[in-house]
Amino acid sequence: MRDDPGNRPPTAMELQNMLAEGETTSAQLVEDALSRAKVSDDLGIFVSLREDSAIKEAQASDRFRSEKKARSRLEGIPVAIKDNIAIAGEPLGCGSKILDGYISPFSSTAVERLRAFGAIPIGATNMDEFAMGSSTEHSIHGSTRNPWQRDRVPGGSSGGSAAAVAAGVVPIALGSDTGGSIRQPASFCGVVGMKPTYGRISRWGLVAFASSLDQIGPIAHTAEDCALVLDCIGGSDSRDSTCLPSGSTDCYGALNAGLENLVIGLPKEYFQSTGVDAEVLEKVYDAVKHLEEAGAELREISLPHTEYAVSTYYLVATAEASSNLARYDGARYGKRSDAARSLVGMYEGSRSEGFGEEVKRRIFLGTYVLSAGYYDAYYRKAQKVRTLLRRDFEEAFLECDVIATPTCPEVAFPLGSKLDPLAMYLSDVFTVSANLVGVPGVSLPCGFKEGLPIGLQLLGQAGDDAMPLRIAHEYQKTTNFHCAVPPGVAP
């Protein structure tokens, strides 16, 4: 059963209770977070810290509270922000040389809303360059390390944000998820990561990788904290035409609805896959059996086009990336090459010097599949398969309320062990479908293998972000995996 949560750093809800009771102050929480960030510098989590600004904001939050004006349950809580989500007046580098030294002139909608509700960003977290990677090894700032075992990757591309929560620096972080970049590092780091329904959270101020796939989402120790954040930052935004007009789901209010009469679908294409580590599969199956004992019904379902998901994702994502990254040419955005002797030379030199190898690889592939001779054979066909995948999910949700799968086929792998790009791409096999079809997904810890966390993924119907969080919350009420902490992390 569930351990005493005192053996891990407090959640945002627990900190909020401490603030309300006068046991601590926001200024103290922020100072502690900044101190932890510096102590954990060897993990490569942060690329910049907002020391003076964050402390001033914390002092202002304490004044709000003293006047009984706490703006939300996030009032005075320190948070970390991935380095591709804009904060006005702060560096916005996306882990890339081409944006080294760039200062954002505005804040993203997600950050604006967090601050409006009283949360305090303390700094920017490391990431794979332009969110292209599954290990947080492709960054101008070097690799981030997994707090559980420092010779392992934290996952990616939001590895810095996941590691910040796992290492106890902050209770909440924001990441971005294009093909699993929140859920996969959450799985590897033993925390909860949420990819909302596409359009639930505004992408204004999120540096674009693949615009039809990208979503900002929260990372925390608990589904409860993720629900708090989603309710605060979700909702319509006139600055993002892809944002849903219906506003935010009340995820926090739905957390305690229970599991009675809920049906959990188990796709045979995932549970019968030969590419999944046997122990990972066993722990995930144990988790869904636990949910069955708590009142849910398990039902085998089929997602027949799953085998095409990774190929489809990397065609769509790279095509959109090649278009989005065209603006970084040394003239409109990005550092300009000093060696340029002509306009074309400036473009070529700036991009060649500024982009890393993985980004160049994806630009080349995306440009190729969009070219006149190959558009129909690759990109158009990928979009057709994307439609088939969406229909698979629509039909599956006629039979179940949520779909359960492993988050990843394995636990965190050693740094430098996946130099083959294809091997790295295949680590996204269970996560990319959610982005292609726009449904919400949550990863939560459900076990360990040789001291490394294993993640259970719960996928909900588009628009129903509350359902996977509700089931995750019920699971965490009667299990203790989220209470475990990496070696050396103090409460």
Active site residues: 82, 157, 181
Measured CA to CA, the distance from residue 334 to residue 332 in angstroms comes to: 7
Q: Give the CA distances from residue 400 to residues 99, 264, 307, 395, 467, in Å, rounded to whole numbers and listed in that order.
A: 45, 6, 21, 9, 11
- What is the four-CA torsion angle of 472, 476, 480, 483, rounded to 10 degrees? 90
Closest CA to 189 of 468, 467, 489, 473: 489
Q: Which residue has the tokens 């707090």?
A: 147
Tokens coding 421: 């790009």
Q: Enumerate residues 6+ apart whose C-beta is below 8 A from 417.
A: none
Tokens coding 406: 């492993």
Q: What are phi and psi of 10, to 5 degrees?
A: -65, 150
What one-character DSSP code corresponds to residue 307? G
Cβ 126 vs Cβ 139: under 8 Å: yes
Q: Enumerate residues 6+ apart whose C-beta is below 8 A from 475.
A: 287, 290, 291, 294, 444, 446, 456
Q: At what angle do helices 357-370 and 309-324 cross, to 10 degrees?
A: 100
Cβ 322 vs Cβ 356: under 8 Å: no
- What is the four-CA torsion angle of 378, 380, 382, 387, rounded to 10 degrees? -170
Bridge partners, residue 70, by sequence: none
Measured CA to CA, the distance from residue 193 to residue 187 in angstroms comes to: 8
Tokens coding 6: 């005192």
